[in-house]
Amino acid sequence: MIKVGDTIPNTKFVRATAEGPQQVESKDYFAGKTVALFSVPGAFTPTCSARHLPGFVEKADALKAKGIDEIACTAVNDAFVMGAWGKGANADAITMLADGNADFAEAVGLTMDGSGFGMGKRGQRFAMVIKDGVVDKLFVEEPGDFKVSSADYMLEKL
We report the CATH number of the domain holding residue 23 as 3.40.30.10
Taking CA atoms, 25 is separated from 32, 52, 83, 99, 121, in Å, by 14, 24, 18, 11, 21
Q: Does any domain span residue 61?
A: yes
Q: Does any domain span residue 1?
A: no
Domain with 119, as residue range(s), is 12-157
Length of the chain: 158
The residues carrying an active-site annotation are: 48
Q: Does any domain span residue 2?
A: no
Q: In which order are the strands placed within the sheet that holds 34-39? A: 20-25, 12-17, 94-98, 70-75, 34-39, 126-131, 134-140
Cβ contacts of 6 within 8 Å, gap of 6 or more:
134, 135
Q: Does any domain span residue 7?
A: no
pTM: 0.94
How high is the pLDDT of residue 96?
97
Percent of the chain predicted with pLDDT > 70: 97
- Cα separation of 11 and 146, whole Å? 26
Q: What does pLDDT average to over the chain? A: 93
Please state the rounded mean pLDDT for residues 141-152.
Answer: 94
Number of domains in the chain: 1
The helix/strand/coil state of 44 is: coil
How high is the pLDDT of residue 118?
61
Q: Tens digit of pLDDT for each residue in 81-125?
A: 999 999 999 999 999 999 999 999 999 999 977 667 767 677 899
User: Comparing 113 with 40, which gets the higher pLDDT?
Assistant: 40
Beta strands in 33-133 (DSSP E): 34-39, 70-75, 94-98, 111-113, 121-123, 126-131
Q: Does any domain span residue 51?
A: yes
How is residue 6 annotated by DSSP? P
pLDDT-based confidence at 43, cuts 50/70/90?
confident
How is residue 7 annotated by DSSP? B
Taking CA atoms, 137 is separated from 68, 122, 134, in Å, by 12, 21, 9
How high is the pLDDT of residue 120?
61
How is residue 52 annotated by DSSP? I
